Amino acid sequence: MTGLQSLRIQGLKHNQPTLLQLHTIISSSPELEVLALTFWEWEAAGSAPTVPSLYPIALNSLKTLILDSINPVVVEGLSSIIIAPKCNNLKLHRVGGNMVHDQLTASRFVHLLRGPLREASGLFLDYNQPRGEIIFGAKEEEEGSDELGIRAATSKLAKRRRLYFNVSLGSAVQKKSRVWNDLMRTAMRNVFQPALSGLQLPIEFKLRGPPLHPTRVEESQELPYAIFLELPLTISLLLFNILATNSILDCLASPQHLSNADGDTGSLARPGPRLEKITILCSKESFKNAGTVISAAANLKTIKIIQLKR
């Protein structure tokens, strides 16, 4: 199989190859240009080897890598050992949380992201707590949004986008804001910041909270406001069912302390210096002062506020 250029395996239900078997096949095919493994019915990982025990695979001709709706062990394993400097079409759909939690896995994954990122004109980042997932992708010029600024179904976007991945974390984070916030910080530190280092790409950023419970509106959502400092190129912000909406806007309206791994640096910076658009979809309990929007960013061109009914 040394001359194999394209490998596509779709819809497997039984007798799926293990990560070790896939490693053997792929490492024996150095001329691969397309690798697409999609829509397998998940099977138990069994005795699959851990990722560090597999040696890296250099695929210098690989341009397209698609791992969509297959066992997260396989996605994690392949995406962290494949070295593909020419890859500019990367789609990873429904992958596991270890992709962002494990530093070694995340650092290897970042190298895969750099190729498609170099060709992107813009990005979007969607933290979706109700679905327990983080979605990250390249913004295509022809993409449109509806009147609320919400994009088409992710399944349609994934098909036409050069860079797309979503990390699915399941029900464990859907109802636990603290777990969710920790995950956001981890993803930012291990994946997004190193992947975007040195790139001047505008970002559309969405925060989606869980449905508001009518008897528990007093509960706060402690969101990591520092993410706005860590994503200074954010140009668009959508807040959907976020109880801390006013706190976020207050954060955007005034300089905040910069911090690093060692703590507060003593420096101040204004979050979202390039923010042009804010869209707020919320209940009256989560948004009480329209004036905070006006002072939230100096470059605002569009403000959209929609009150949701329970």
Hey, is 75 helix, strand or coil? helix
Strand partners, 208: 128, 240
268 pLDDT exceeds 80?
A: no
Q: What number of other Cβ atoms are within 10 A of residue 219's Cβ?
A: 10
> Tell me: the pLDDT tens digits for 12-29?
888 888 889 999 999 999
Task: Give the span between the Cα atoms of 200 and 291, in whole angstroms.
Answer: 31
Q: Is the pLDDT of residue 5 over 90?
A: yes
- pLDDT value at residue 224: 54
Q: What is the pLDDT averaged over residues 199-224?
A: 65
pLDDT at 175 (0 to 100): 53
pLDDT tens digits for 62-114? 999 999 888 878 888 898 889 999 999 999 887 777 778 888 888 888 888 88
Give the pLDDT of residue 99.
77
> Is the confidence at residue 45, as pLDDT, over 60?
no
**pTM for the predicted model, two decimal places:** 0.78
pLDDT one-digit tens code per residue, 140-173: 654 444 444 444 444 444 444 678 888 776 655 5
Region of 155 on the Ramachandran plot (φ > 0 left; ψ -120 to 50 alpha; else beta): alpha
pLDDT of residue 255: 75
Q: Could you tell me the pLDDT band of residue 6, with boundaries at 50, 70 and 90? A: very high
Residue 156: the pLDDT is 46
Place of tokens 């290897």: 108
Write down the pLDDT at residue 270. 72
